[in-house]
Amino acid sequence: MAVLIHHRLAASQSEYTSFCDISAHLSCDAVLGSSYAKVGGVPVAAWAIGAYVALAALALALSSARGDARLRVASGFAALSGSVLAVSLYFLFISTFVIGVACPLCLGLDVVNAAIFIVAVRVLRSLRGAAPSGWPPLRGFAATGAATAALIAGLAVLQFPHTSTASAGLTVDQVRENDPKFYAWYISQPIVDASQLAGRHAEGPESAPITVIEFSDFECPHCGHAFVDLTGALQTAGKEVRLLYRHFPLNSDCNPQIHTRLHENACLAAVAAECAGAQGKFWPYERLLFQHQDALDQPSLLGFAARLSLDQAEFERCLTSPAAAAAVAEDVAAGAAAGVTSTPTFFINGRRVAGSLQGSEQYTYAFAIERARLADPQSAKANPPPSN
């Protein structure tokens, strides 16, 4: 299942949503669609299938082995299951502390790996009575442990550069080489005049060469993924990028373009963000909303205001004020006029990108392409004609 989700995410450039995409912080899609989900160009889930096949082969051999051979097979089974569990814990660390999202499918496999290791150890202990003198072969286990540690260290060397890639040092040629599929998809997106889309809420210097205008919905899981990934990319980019936020709640209560109340609390959350902005705390409040997408009811919104030490009485008055609702309606109208139909939708130096990109590195790639386009409009081959 994890391999299938990984394949469909890669094939659809984030347009696919799996059953496991629950929220911004609980999503298989965010983890399996990240750069960390591949090693050597192969999905980690596919490597895991190979490991399970090897474990199954050892388990089958164990059932038919006799004497010292049975002990050796059991030792190999325990060693391999221990290595699989160690690698599994490495990727749990990546998911939790680097990507910042929990993957339910991955957590399920972690439990399976722990269970297999426990069984392997118990089988090995049960065979101690038949062990020859000098057993267990500690050198063999030590060698396996060292090899596993080296493997994890190698994975870290291969994968962690994605978190520290400097946008300013990337060239279009490097982007094309690193991720040719993304490059071809990205430069095919339309470039429009976004000069009229600047909103009220901006973060980053006005002189920044790259401007990102985001139309988003605080209750939208894909927007939550984008928040996590874009935050990482912006930290890398520094003063190179200016971010502007505009509302586009997917709820017919405040968005005439939407015919259902898809996200029940999205309109109220947008109004609450405007009320926080009226007290100079839009961006801290925006972060709280994305970090707590499962708690956007009115009591929670009031609690977030209290956490930021906002004037509670003024905040409550603002929640029902025509001015805050009008600000949200203004953003919705601007988005509709610019062709926004879903969230998130970005305008990166005018290039319209519908949907969240896959991981911080793709935002960094987009910034590199746009920076090169500023220097030479032909360098990124913007808007190439469709191929026949």
Residues 278-322: tens digit of each pLDDT:
999 999 999 999 989 989 999 999 999 999 999 999 999 999 999
Is pTM beyond 0.75? Reply is: no
CATH number of the domain within which 54 lies: 1.20.1440.130
3-state secondary structure at position 152: helix
Question: For 98-107, what is each residue's pLDDT tens digit?
Answer: 777 788 888 9
Kindly tell me if the per-residue pLDDT of 275 is higher than 70.
yes
> Bigger pLDDT: 3 or 204?
204
pLDDT at residue 129, as a whole number: 60
Structure tokens at 233: 């990319």
Answer whether residue 141 is part of any domain.
yes
Same domain, 108 and 225: no
What percent of the chain has a predicted confidence (pLDDT) above 90?
Answer: 50
Mean pLDDT of 197-225: 93
Same domain, 92 and 148: yes
Of 17-21, 76-80, 316-320, which gets the smallest average pLDDT? 17-21
CATH number of the domain within which 354 lies: 3.40.30.10
Same domain, 191 and 335: yes
HSE of 118, CA atoms in CB hemisphere, 13 A: 6
Q: Show Cβ contacts of residue 268 under 8 Å, excluding neighbours closer than 6 positions.
A: 296, 298, 301, 319
> Bigger pLDDT: 214 or 361?
214
Mean pLDDT of 123-151: 68
Residue 2: pLDDT band with limits 50, 70, 90: low
Listed residues 164, 192, 215: the one ending a domain = 164
Residue 137: pLDDT band with limits 50, 70, 90: low
DSSP conformation letters of 296-336: -SHHHHHHHHHHTT--HHHHHHHHT-HHHHHHHHHHHHHHH
Residue 384: pLDDT band with limits 50, 70, 90: very low
Same domain, 116 and 231: no
**By C-alpha distance, which of 214, 313, 203 is closest to 270?**
214
Same domain, 149 and 246: no
pLDDT at residue 159, as a whole number: 66
Query: How many domains does the chain contain in total?
Result: 2
DSSP conformation letters of 62-100: HHH--HHHHHHHHHHHHHHHHHHHHHHHHHHHIIIIII-
Kindly tell me if the per-residue pLDDT of 31 is higher than 90.
no
Mean pLDDT of 188-196: 91
Taking each helix axis as running N to C, give the angle between helix 221-237 and helix 282-291, from 0 to 180 degrees, rounded to the nearest 10: 130
Kindly tell me if the per-residue pLDDT of 54 is higher than 90.
yes
115: left (phi over 0), alpha (psi -120 to 50) or beta: alpha
Same domain, 105 and 133: yes
Domain of residue 115, residue span: 2-164
Residue type, 246: R
Mean pLDDT of 196-205: 91
